[in-house]
Amino acid sequence: MELRRDVFQALADPTRRTIITLLALKAMTPGAIAENFNSSRQTISKHIQILTECQLVDQQQNGREIYYHLNPVKMKEIADFIEPFRKFWDERFNKLESVMKDYQAKNKK
Amino acid sequence: MELKTQVHAEDGKQELTITRQFDLPLELLFKAYMEPEIVEQWMGTKVLKLENKSHGSYRFETTDPMGNKHLFHGTIHEFELNTKFTRTFEMENTPFPVQLEFFEFERLGENSSKLIMHVIYKSLEVRNQILQLPFKQGINMAHNRIQEYFTKS
């Protein structure tokens, strides 16, 4: 069985975050990406591979060159990931606020 | 518009921070965590035990729409009135490990205050699993799903 890569682990690495930032500006070839780092091309291509496996990055053949670009759908999914958790707490705190406002009103009388 | 409740879960860290601003005086916000009858109202839970003191403990019980009872408990490590408390939090009968929670309360104005909840999990994996729980249905329902989730994986 193939293990699905954890997106959060993929994003935990600073090099991979930098690659994401670079690709956010424009689609790039692996060579152009590697030029931004001191690491070997092999190391960088390993990082790109991980990002591709998580579908954070897509590749596109353009003539002889492969261009990598960000997958906006996947990036949005990550942004939405925390939203249900945040909403849960937001609703709970709204309730706290309204309960305490009632309490405050009652105790002022 | 800035969100009243914010969740900050940094990549690669086994912790998260929840912050919330309330249109309430600091003392009232703190009271919401202290008085069992009030806790019951906003958390929708039954307070079986709540000792607001250092080396104290608490235990809550919620009943989900199916009638199942779920228990939560922890130890209160430190308690400073209107300032902060630190506690552990554990869901009983689930495979989730205990988590450590730091609650800090700040006065912003006469009628506004802020809560900072800093939660530390046993591992990054546990944090991410907790974030993925089906919160849409509420934590009580989530409790049932947790069992499913873990028996599946």
User: Cβ of A85 and B133 within 8 Å?
Assistant: yes
Q: What phi and psi values does residue B122 have, to the nearest 5 degrees? A: -65, -35
Q: CA-to-CA distance for B80 and B3, rounded, in angstroms?
A: 28
ipTM value: 0.83
pLDDT, one tens digit per residue, over A48-58 is 999 998 888 99
Looking at the predicted structure, is the pLDDT value of residue B36 above 90? yes
Q: What phi and psi values does residue A31 have, to the nearest 5 degrees? A: -65, -45
Q: Which range (B14-18, B44-48, B129-133) has the least confidence?
A: B129-133
DSSP character at residue A34: H
The residue with greater pLDDT, A73 or A8, is A73
Name the band, by pLDDT with cuts 50, 70 and 90, for residue B27.
Answer: very high
Nearest Cα to A36, choosing from A60, A20, A55?
Answer: A20
- B93 in reach of chain A (CB within 8 A): no
- Other CB atoms closer than 10 Å to residue B74's CB: what's the count? 19
- Which amino acid appears at position B38 of this protein? I
How many Cβ pairs closer than 8 A exist between chain A and B? Answer: 83
User: Cβ of B135 and A93 within 8 Å?
Assistant: no
For residue A7, the distance in angstroms to the closest alpha carbon of chain B comes to 10
